[in-house]
Amino acid sequence: MTLIYKGRETAVRIDKETAVRVTALREKGIAPCLAVVRVGERPDDMAYESGLMKRASELAVNVRRVLLPADVRQDAVERVIDDLNADEAVHGILVFCPLPAHLNERAVCERIAPDKDVDGTTAMSAAGVFLGKPIGYPPCTADAVVRILEDRQVPLRGRKVCVVGRSNVVGKPLSLMLIGKSATVTVCHSATADLPAETLAADIIVSCAGRAGLIGRRHVRPGQVVIDVGINFDKDGRMCGDAAAEEIDGIVGAMTPVPGGVGSVTISVLMSHVAEAAGRKRL
């Protein structure tokens, strides 16, 4: 039988810890606050924003929304970031990406002060992940994968993990974080010669390739844990992950569903980073 690791269950446990932290901060007169900067009205951003606002209100985390027109100038966005950096009442800053093509997204993200970079987008946060030091924050999705594995008490020390995907937002930071947990990590990508050989050798497979059906029957064996980060849509427009879930269900030991897996944990991780940011400097 394959265990299904529902993200919601881990999210609830993370939220409980965050709620305790927020209560302690509020008793000291600190109201944790996340600033979200949205340029334009992309439906994806708006959906994420409304999920985020709902969770923030449940956890008593304040959200300051900064909404900018789709044709906003680079200097105006950068000024917004500078003001939020300087504002002591703001503890975390999230900029919805991708930004419209006329903007220099990297320059905007790099402007976020590392101690407010709760979504891990700056080079300083990448350095923190690389060094295993509390500089900035890891990207929320990569952190969500680690939190799911820890929450489910999947041992990492000395275990073989195959990470499929090497992007700067998910695969690469996740691989470094898993090395930090003493796992033996193999990173696969679009040029990997024999993907099944690599995934079959692993105890844990984390797929973050964004390719529907990439991980099928021939990539897995009994006892493995499969964490599916992919968000794809099948030919009928239904959301699905990278794993052919119906093929590997019944073979592997445990897997996360899509939807309802890693994605359900991301906002909880973001809120935990905001609570941490609010406490880091002043407690």
Binding residues for ligand NAD (CB under 6 A) = 141, 164-167, 169-171, 188-190, 192, 195, 208-211, 214, 229-232, 262-263, 266
Q: Rank residues 18 and 25 by Cβ distance to ligand NAD and give the closer one.
A: 18
Q: Rank residues 59 and 262 by Cβ distance to ligand NAD and give the closer one.
A: 262
Distance CA 201, CA 217 (A): 14
DSSP code at position 243: B
Q: Rank residues 6 and 189 by Cβ distance to ligand NAD and give the closer one.
A: 189
Q: What is the DSSP string of 186-229?
A: EEE-TT-S-HHHHHHT-SEEEE-S--TT-B-GGG--TT-EEEE-
Q: Rank residues 25 and 241 by Cβ distance to ligand NAD and give the closer one.
A: 241
The residue type of 134 is: P
Shortest spacing between CB 30 and ligand NAD, in angstroms: 28
Shortest spacing between CB 54 and ligand NAD, in angstroms: 16
Shortest spacing between CB 259 and ligand NAD, in angstroms: 9
3-state helix, strand, coil in the chain (%, to 5): 45, 15, 40
Shortest spacing between CB 187 and ligand NAD, in angstroms: 9
Distance CA 19, CA 128 (A): 25
Q: 136: left (phi > 0), else alpha (psi -120 to 50), else beta? A: left
Q: Rank residues 112 and 227 by Cβ distance to ligand NAD and give the closer one.
A: 227
Looking up tokens 């064996």 gives 221
Shortest spacing between CB 230 and ligand NAD, in angstroms: 4
Looking up tokens 């881990």 gives 10
Distance CA 176, CA 155 (A): 16
117-125's contacts with Cβ under 8 Å and 24+ in sequence apart are: 117/92, 117/93, 118/34, 118/91, 118/92, 118/93, 118/94, 118/270, 118/273, 118/274, 118/277, 119/92, 119/94, 119/95, 119/270, 119/273, 120/173, 121/95, 121/97
Q: Rank residues 13 and 60 by Cβ distance to ligand NAD and give the closer one.
A: 13
Shortest spacing between CB 86 and ligand NAD, in angstroms: 29
Shortest spacing between CB 224 and ligand NAD, in angstroms: 17
Q: Rank residues 189 and 279 by Cβ distance to ligand NAD and give the closer one.
A: 189
Shortest spacing between CB 264 and ligand NAD, in angstroms: 8
CA dist 138 to 97, 132, 209, 223, 272, Å?
16, 10, 19, 29, 12
Q: Rank residues 85 and 192 by Cβ distance to ligand NAD and give the closer one.
A: 192
